[in-house]
Chain A
Amino acid sequence: GIQVEQSPPDLILQEGANSTLRCNFSDSVNNLQWFHQNPWGQLINLFYIPSGTKQNGRLSATTVATERYSLLYISSSQTTDSGVYFCAARHYNQGGKLIFGQGTELSVKP
């Protein structure tokens, strides 16, 4: 099956800084999602982005499917951005099975 790797594993920022989180995947995928896990454990959908670029406020994401990576950009970070960010990918013949990376734990300091 596909493998998903995220980097960096940990990131500490000052409020207002920008950051880039990376997700590499080992095979062709037809689903790539980014999530933010809140302190209570719920996975909040950020982007569904198997290819191309999307933006939502201070967050944007780009997936280059041919090169098998995705990037999540966070601009002007706020303390509420703290938490763990996951990317998850699905191979085209795997139905609903998402493979998750190990996550990037982001800490934004005031």
Chain B
Amino acid sequence: KAGVTQTPRYLIKTRGQQVTLSCSPISGHRSVSWYQQTPGQGLQFLFEYFSETQRNKGNFPGRFSGRQFSNSRSEMNVSTLELGDSALYLCASSSTPAPGSTDTQYFGPGTRLTVL
């Protein structure tokens, strides 16, 4: 079974631009979560989607948004990029998203975004 895939793997943008990152979960997985990793803040939860609905959201500004499609693929968008948005963005998928669930999350290779 193929793992979680993320595209693109690397991206360079300038301040003020917007960017869209894509994540394809493991086949059969319906939950997708996004995380941001920076040297200063570590790994932080952005949001989680299941069945095209956002189920959970981290403490990030509204410039960060996401969506999920009917095939469970997910995209996240960052508008009006700032230098501080430079980070590794990781996507994770799991098969059971319900509260109280105990399912393992599997991570993709990440997209490394650099904002100049």
| Residues of chain A whose beta carbon lies under 8 Å from any beta carbon of chain B | 30-31, 33, 35, 40-43, 45, 48, 50, 86, 88, 92-103
Contact = CB atoms under 8 A, between A and B. Distances in A.
The dominant DSSP class at the A interface is loop
B24 interface: no
24 contacts: A30-B102, A31-B102, A33-B104, A41-B88, A42-B107, A42-B108, A43-B107, A48-B104, A88-B43, A95-B48, A95-B50, A95-B55, A95-B56, A95-B97, A95-B101, A96-B56, A96-B94, A96-B97, A98-B35, A100-B42, A100-B43, A100-B44, A101-B42, A103-B42
Contacts of B103: 31
Contacts of B56: 94-97
Contact of A96 (B43, B44, B48): B48
A75 B103 CA distance: 27
Nearest to B57: A97
Given A40-B110, A41-B88, 15 more contacts: A30-B101, A35-B107, A42-B108, A43-B107, A50-B102, A92-B99, A93-B100, A95-B48, A95-B98, A96-B50, A97-B45, A98-B33, A98-B35, A100-B35, A102-B42
Nearest to B109: A42
A42 B101 contact: no
Contact of A41 (B94, B100, B110): B110
A103 B19 CA distance: 28
Contacts of A102: 42
Contacts, number: 75
A94 B104 CA distance: 14
Nearest to A44: B107
B55 A43 contact: no
Interface centre among A40, A41, A102 (most CB of B within 10 A): A41
Contacts of A92: 99-100
B8 interface: no
Interface of B: 31, 33, 35, 37, 42-45, 48, 50, 55-56, 58, 88, 90, 92, 94, 97-110, 112
